[in-house]
């Protein structure tokens, strides 16, 4: 039987799409490690950062080195943006943001083909996954594309305009996935903008709560302007909705937010966070933050640090600004020295450690619900509903959810199963 290997870079949407391809590739080929010699290599690419692009180059070279005669397939955002460039000169099949449902068909044809469409199809591509057999949770892609055009972001060019899935099909898929995994994560490029006519994200969440087998429903990411009161009320009322919201802020200085083309002020962001916390006890609020954006002065950065101290996020994903051609930010003046970006990244990391620890400490001797993802050396590991990674002092069933009492937060978060 011929073999294939897969490498998935980037976001949870890529992960979802790769799972669909894997499900269908397994009908014809056997999967092996990407480090091994395979007949076919599939790489799901990402273009959000320069690091992601560098990783794509690395894995393309690795695939050709592992098997000079292998059939190499590059899929996704970087393929869409740079499919005609030197990056992909040694690739056999290039697929952009369309035709994810035809990947296996195209692989079977084994042609050398650049299948990237210049004009992205703006209909939602339902892939319909039946299981995440190797994982303890499932992802459900409900939305694709973005209309916001933040000045630093290439994604609207790579993924196209916003479109959403048919809610009836999504509910059917969720019901199938729930038979295998007890947690579903809703994902999309701009998940909060989900709408199927008058049927919106709140209505989808409400209907998902009615699926008996589902124990946890999690939002992968949502913008502050899209968390309406109905969603907050539902989170406050339902035990099924995970008390964790990842709400990208990108900067906590108003002048930087304006040049980023973000649709809120710092005060609007902080006010909404305060309201969410007043409604949902112990909720985890995490965020994405870019440091070193063009024109970010020392004063702007100090404003960001001060606002982090005020908000106290449970954790922050921090990125140095990465230039992307064809974006508005790339053409701006006052780009920041890479050394300063690195210093600012370390400063945020150092500051945030205090607040992550403080959030973890608040659960000491309290009970959290943990979804077990792996076992190793007599311990089990997984994320709580608040997205706290927890080490449990016993071997448990992967994929099951346990009540765990937190015993220690000094180094890593550890606990034991409640009697």
Name the residue with tokens 């903008």: 193
Count CB atoms within 10 A of the CB of residue 67.
17
Question: Does some domain include residue 175?
Answer: yes
Other residues' Cβ atoms within 10 Å of the Cβ of residue 249: 25
Find the CATH number of the domain harbouring 346.
3.30.750.200
Residue 174 in domain: yes
Q: What is the pTM of this model?
A: 0.94
- Of 62, 79, 114, the last residue of a domain is 114
Do 151 and 223 fall within a single domain? yes
Rounded Cα gap, residues 16 and 174, in angstroms: 13
Length reported for the chain: 419
Is residue 357 a part of any domain in this protein? Answer: no
**Count of C-beta atoms within a 10 Å radius of residue 238:** 14
pLDDT for 134 equals: 67
Residues 99 and 131 in one domain: no
Record the tokens describing residue 314, joined without a space: 């449970």
Looking at the structure, do residues 403 and 325 belong to the same domain, yes or no?
no
Shared-domain flag, residues 238 and 259 = no
Do 209 and 265 share a structural domain? no
pLDDT on residue 326? 87
Residues 193 and 251 in one domain: no
H-state helical runs in 3-89: 12-25, 50-66, 77-82
Whether residues 181 and 210 fall in one domain: yes
pLDDT at residue number 135: 74
- Structural domain containing residue 255: 245-271+280-352
Query: CA quadruple 109, 113, 119, 120: dihedral positive or negative?
Result: positive
**One domain for residues 249 and 327:** yes
| 232-266 pLDDT, tens digit each | 999 999 999 999 999 999 999 999 999 999 999 99
What is the predicted pLDDT for the residue at 136?
86
139 and 237, same structural domain?
A: yes
Low-confidence residues of the chain: pLDDT under 50: none
CB 316 within 8 A of CB 286: yes
Q: What does pLDDT average to over the chain? A: 95
Domain count, the chain: 4
75 and 20 share one domain: yes
Task: List phi, psi (to 5°) of 315.
Answer: -160, 160
Among 349, 354, 220, 222, residue whose Cα is nearest residue 289: 349
177 domain residue, yes or no = yes
Do 83 and 161 belong to one domain? no
The answer to whether residue 37 is domain-embedded is: yes
Residue 18, pLDDT score: 94
Separation of CA 60 from chain center:
23
């Amino acid at each position: 039987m011929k073999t294939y290997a897969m490498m998935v870079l980037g976001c949870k949407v890529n992960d979802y799409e790769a799972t669909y391809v894997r499900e269908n590739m397994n009908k014809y080929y056997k999967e092996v490690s990407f480090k091994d010699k395979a007949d076919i290599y599939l790489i799901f690419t990402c273009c959000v950062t320069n690091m992601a692009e560098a990783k794509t180059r690395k894995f393309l070279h690795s695939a050709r080195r592992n098997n000079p005669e292998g059939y190499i397939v590059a899929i996704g955002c970087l393929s869409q943006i740079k499919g005609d460039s030197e990056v992909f000169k040694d690739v056999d099949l290039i697929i952009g943001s369309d035709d994810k449902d035809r990947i296996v068909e195209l692989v079977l044809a084994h042609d050398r083909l650049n299948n990237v469409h210049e004009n992205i199809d703006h209909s939602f591509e339902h892939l319909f996954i039946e299981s995440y057999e190797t994982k303890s949770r499932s992802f459900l892609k409900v939305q694709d594309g973005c209309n916001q055009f933040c000045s630093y972001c290439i994604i609207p060019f790579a993924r196209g305009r916003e479109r959403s899935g048919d809610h009836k099909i999504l509910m059917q898929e969720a019901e199938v996935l729930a038979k295998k995994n007890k947690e579903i994560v809703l994902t999309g490029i701009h998940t909060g903008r989900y709408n199927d006519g008058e049927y919106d994200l709140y209505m989808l969440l409400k209907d998902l709560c009615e699926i008996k087998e589902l124990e946890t429903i999690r939002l992968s990411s949502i913008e502050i302007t899209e968390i309406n009161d109905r969603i907050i009320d539902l989170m406050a009322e339902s035990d099924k909705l995970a008390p964790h919201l990842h709400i990208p802020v990108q900067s906590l200085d108003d002048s930087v937010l304006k040049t980023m083309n973000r649709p809120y002020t710092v005060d609007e962001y902080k006010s909404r966070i305060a309201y969410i916390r007043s409604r949902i006890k112990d909720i985890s609020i995490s965020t994405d933050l870019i440091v070193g954006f063009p024109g970010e002065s020392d004063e702007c950065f100090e404003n960001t640090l001060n606002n982090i101290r005020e908000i106290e996020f449970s954790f922050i994903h921090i990125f140095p600004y990465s230039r992307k051609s064809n974006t508005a930010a790339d053409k701006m003046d006052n780009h920041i020295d890479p050394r300063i970006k690195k210093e600012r990244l370390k400063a945020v990391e150092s500051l945030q450690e205090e607040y992550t620890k403080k959030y973890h400490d608040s659960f000491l001797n309290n009970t959290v619900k943990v979804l077990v993802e792996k076992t190793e050396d007599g311990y089990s590991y997984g994320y709580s509903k608040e997205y706290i990674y927890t080490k449990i002092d016993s071997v448990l069933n992967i994929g099951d959810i346990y009540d765990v009492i937190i015993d220690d937060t000094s180094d890593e978060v550890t606990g034991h199963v409640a009697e």
